[in-house]
Every structure is written in C-alpha cells, then in structure tokens.
C-alpha cells in the first residue's frame, strides 16, 4: 500500500498529516510556490551580505560570541563547525515515529521562506523523508531554548554525509544514507547550518508522541471506567446529560455521553435500578468531571501543538519584502513546555482514577464482588498484587508529573539565561503513558472479572464486545496464575488501538 501523501503547498499541516507521519512512512511533495519562496529567502540573505551588514549567526559567532565578526571566506566553515560542534547529544535514540515527525516539522518550518536556506537544502530533507531514512538522534541534550540545538544538529549531520541513520531495523552511516537516497552531501551556504539546528521541532514532535499515546489511553480508560461501573453494580445517573449541562465544560459533557452510551442496554444495570445504594465512590461517579478535565487538557494541547507544528521557530528570521533579517526568540519552547507539563497532569490523573476503581473492585464491601475478585479467596490471592502494581505505577506518575517548565539553568555563558526545558518536559510523557496504560489494562482485567461474576446478567452490547476481546486473550481468573503475562497481553491490546473507537470522536 502506498504511503500517505503530505503536500507542502502554503496551507498548514493538519492533525491528520501529523498522525500519518507518526504512524509510519509518508511521502512529502513540495509545491513550486514553496520552493520559490525558499529561494527568495536565500537571495535576501545573499543581498544583505553583499552590503557587508552583520547578520547574527551568518557572519558573526553564536551565543556569547555574537559580537565576533566572521570573514567572508570563513562563512562555510562557520556553518560546518556549528553543525558538528552542536551535535553533542547523548542517551538512547529517539524512536522512528518521532524522528519522522521532526523531519516533517522542520520541512514545514523551512518551507515558509523565512529561514534563508536554499531550495536544494530543503529538497534533501524531503528526500530523506520519502526514503524513510531517519537520522539517529540521541534523546538527551536539549534545554528547549535556542531551539533543540543538539538533537537537530544530529539530524543535520546526515545532510553532510556524517552521523548515523535509521534504515528500518538497521543503522547505517550518513554517507550510505545519502547515496541510497540519491542526495549529494551538503556544503552549507551562509545561515543554513543555523536554520537547520535552530527550532522547536524535536520538543514538539516528542510532545505530539505523548499526546497521541495519552489520547489512546484516555479512550481505553473511558471503556474501563464504564465496565467497572457495571462490575460494581454502579449507577448511570451521574452521567445524565442534564447534570453535565449545568456545569458547561465541553470535556465533561462529552465524556459523560460516552460512558452513558457504553452502559446503554446493560441488563446488569437494569437489575438494580431500584437498589438502596444512593451514591457510588467518586472514582466512579465523578468520571465526567475528572476525565472530562483531562480531555479538555489534551484538546488544548493538541491545538497548541498544531500551531507549533506549522511555526517558524529558528533565528534570525528573513523578511524578503523588507530586505531585513531580524533576531528574535521564536526558538524558545515555553509554549511546548507548558503543554507537556499540562498533559503530564492529565496522564497522571487518568491513571490515578483508574487505580482507585481497581481498588474498589477488589474490596468486597464496596463492590459486592468476591474478595480480590477470586471465587476462592485465601487459597488464592486473585487481583491483590495487581492492585499493588497499579498503585506503584500511579505513585510513580505523581512524581513524574512535577512540572519541568518551572526549571531553568542558564547556558552559553549566561547569554541564554532562561530556558524552557520543553524537551525534558515532553520526554517523560512516554514513561507516564506507559505507566497509565498498564494501570488501565489492570482495570480492564478487573472489570472483565467482575462482569463475569454478574452472570447470567449481561453487560451492554458495546461493553460485551470489549469483554470478548479481552477474554479472547486472557481467560477468566479461576485460580492464581502469573498475572504479569495476562497484563502484557492487555497492554498490547491497548497499544494496538483495540479501544480507540471509544474516544474517536473526541479528538476529530
């Protein structure tokens, strides 16, 4: 099947484009209008240089060395030295999905014609994407101001025929990658090195990866929460739209509608409509208020990251009409840092609420289910340690949710005296999402077990389908066995998108 086509033609990248690049190989097609705009930017830089005017990072040094003037004959060396010296990252490599996004975002930013690079340089990046040859980028080394300098320098080294490249499961040299893609090694023109490694594309791509995972986990958690309501003989009254409308938050209204829809047609619910229980615990009853707030955070983050994905964030910026090159601070990734920190809170809360429902289900006084969800308690421990694992992961997420954007360490001899830490803020989202995914998987197993105990009463048709999907991989817990094996199967089920449809309409 052909890879999805993404056209760079003067219109913004869409959420669909970003998801496609994250999912797998894509083809990028650059419109002539964009190439012409890029070429005009390079011409503007050349014309200003002819006048002998200083341009930061083009004929001056960088950072604290900005007052140092560079001779014309050394301008190429200046850009080469910049790319090589700034490739100072360390740690494990970023996954292919993130690197593909980085390339796409950098292409989009450069295509707007304000970066002063040549069209041929942009073509080389496009060729890498279209061949799915992805630069090997270490995950650590960016403080999210002056752009993601170190990781983008590693990306840019490949254009010189240096560095390393991910080619499917293999890692090859930058030189071999250029030969495979039919790209000549880059000899950087003035400003090209700076334009390539300056920008927020890495922190934004990592944050997008965290967003996509969080959306998937939220969908699975809504399903798990609804199944748990049925498992404990809970009420669907808290999801009545009239309650949500009086408060007015969109996320609350939407999540309540999904949970109520999932419960519709449950004979378990119908069996206790007139029971004496007045209210369920908050982790069941307040799902719209908590999950809705999480949804609002993720939606807001998605909107801001889409803006950043289409932004020009290098420095200085070229304005062709005015024949000016202006130094500013678009490289400062504070918006991305705030988004990542906010999403961290939502990811932690999705897991926190899920863990509480699992704890309630194993407590027979709350759930009216067998203790620890086993029909032979004492001889069997059932879900006892599964809930302990869930609690451990939820606690870990609390620590990881501590904001990164409030941290700042000056760099470049105090020239860059306030930084965003956006990359660090985004990087920890993967671990948090992994923890939350496991917490939700534990709840799905517990809820499925609880629903089993309600037989011959049946859950709703929608949740019965999910229940069958779980039982196709993990059998009912008759007696103790290795829970970890079961858990990994349901984690994989979530990762594969088995429950994405639950929240599909929430994210567009």
DSSP string of 408-454?
---BTTTTB-----HHHHHHHHHHHHHHHHHHHHHHHHHHHHHHHHT
Question: Of 8, 22, 42, 56, which one is the catalytic site residue?
Answer: 56
Helix (H) or strand (E) holding 140: strand 138-140
Instruction: Check if 282 is active-site.
Output: no
The C-alpha atoms of residue 111 and residue 71 are separated, in whole angstroms, by 29
Q: Which one, of 191, 468, 414, 178, lies nearest residue 314 by Cα? A: 191
Q: What are phi and psi of 399, to 5 degrees?
A: -70, -40
The C-alpha atoms of residue 464 and residue 82 are separated, in whole angstroms, by 59
Q: What are phi and psi of 60, to 5 degrees?
A: -130, 170
The C-alpha atoms of residue 100 and residue 91 are separated, in whole angstroms, by 19
- 430 CA to centre of own chain: 8
β-partners of residue 5 are 27
Q: What 3-state DSSP class applies to 249?
A: coil
Non-local CB neighbours of 332 within 8 Å, separated by 6+ positions: 144, 145, 418, 419, 420
Q: Read off the DSSP letter of residue 72.
A: G
Q: Which one, of 37, 55, 35, 36, lies nearest residue 45 by Cα? A: 55
- Is the separation of the CB atoms in 433 and 347 below 8 Å? yes
Helix (H) or strand (E) holding 165: strand 164-167
Q: Read off the DSSP letter of residue 59.
A: T
The C-alpha atoms of residue 119 and residue 115 are separated, in whole angstroms, by 11
The C-alpha atoms of residue 267 and residue 463 are separated, in whole angstroms, by 12
The C-alpha atoms of residue 201 and residue 62 are separated, in whole angstroms, by 20
Residue 9: count of CB within 10 angstroms of its CB: 12
Is the bond into 456 cis (omega within 30 degrees of 0)? Answer: yes
The C-alpha atoms of residue 161 and residue 356 are separated, in whole angstroms, by 53
The C-alpha atoms of residue 266 and residue 273 are separated, in whole angstroms, by 11
Active site residues: 56
């Amino acid at each position: 099947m052909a890879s999805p086509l993404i056209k760079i033609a003067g219109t913004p990248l869409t959420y669909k484009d970003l998801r496609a690049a994250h999912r797998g190989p894509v083809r990028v097609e650059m419109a002539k209008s964009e190439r012409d705009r890029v070429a005009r930017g390079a011409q503007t830089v050349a014309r200003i240089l002819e006048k002998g005017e200083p341009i930061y990072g083009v004929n001056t040094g960088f950072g604290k060395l900005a007052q140092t003037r560079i001779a014309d004959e050394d301008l190429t060396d200046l850009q080469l030295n910049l790319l090589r010296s700034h490739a100072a990252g360390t740690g494990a490599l970023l996954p292919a999905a993130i690197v593909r996004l980085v390339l796409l975002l950098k292409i989009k930013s450069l295509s707007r014609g304000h970066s002063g690079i040549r069209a041929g340089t942009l073509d080389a990046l496009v060729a890498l994407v279209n061949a799915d040859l992805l630069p090997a980028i270490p995950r650590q080394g960016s403080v999210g101001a002056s752009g993601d300098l170190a990781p983008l320098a590693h990306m840019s080294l490949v254009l010189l025929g240096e560095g390393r490249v991910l080619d499917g499961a293999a890692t090859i040299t930058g030189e071999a990658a250029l030969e495979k893609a039919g790209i000549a090694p880059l000899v950087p023109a003035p400003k090209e090195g700076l334009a390539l490694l300056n920008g927020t594309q890495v922190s934004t791509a990592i944050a997008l990866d965290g967003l996509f995972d969080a959306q998937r986990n939220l969908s699975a958690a809504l399903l798990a929460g609804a199944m748990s309501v049925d498992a404990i003989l809970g009420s669907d009254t808290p999801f009545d739209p009239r309650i949500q409308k009086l408060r007015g938050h969109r996320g609350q209204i939407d999540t309540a509608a999904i949970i109520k829809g999932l419960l519709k047609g449950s004979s378990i619910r119908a069996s206790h409509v007139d029971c004496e229980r007045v209210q369920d615990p908050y982790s069941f009853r307040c799902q719209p208020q908590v999950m809705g707030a999480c949804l609002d955070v993720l939606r807001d983050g998605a909107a801001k990251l889409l803006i950043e994905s289409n932004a020009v964030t290098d420095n200085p910026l070229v304005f062709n009409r005015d024949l000016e090159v202006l130094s500013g601070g678009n490289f400062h990734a504070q918006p991305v840092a705030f988004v990542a920190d906010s999403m961290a809170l939502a990811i932690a809360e999705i897991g926190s609420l899920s863990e509480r429902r699992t704890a309630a289900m194993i407590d027979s006084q709350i759930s009216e289910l067998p203790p620890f969800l086993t029909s032979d308690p004492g001889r069997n421990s059932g879900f006892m340690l599964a809930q302990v694992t869930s609690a451990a992961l939820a606690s870990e997420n609390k620590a990881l949710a501590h904001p990164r954007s409030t941290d700042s360490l000056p760099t470049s001899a105090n020239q860059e005296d306030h930084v965003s830490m956006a990359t660090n803020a985004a990087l920890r989202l993967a671990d948090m999402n992994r923890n939350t995914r496991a917490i939700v998987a534990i709840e799905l197993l517990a809820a499925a077990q609880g629903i089993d105990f309600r037989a011959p009463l049946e859950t709703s048709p929608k949740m019965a389908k999910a229940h069958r999907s779980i039982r196709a991989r993990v059998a009912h817990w008759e007696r103790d066995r290795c829970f970890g094996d079961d858990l990994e199967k349901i984690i994989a089920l979530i990762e594969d998108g088995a429950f994405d449809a639950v929240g599909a309409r929430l994210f567009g």
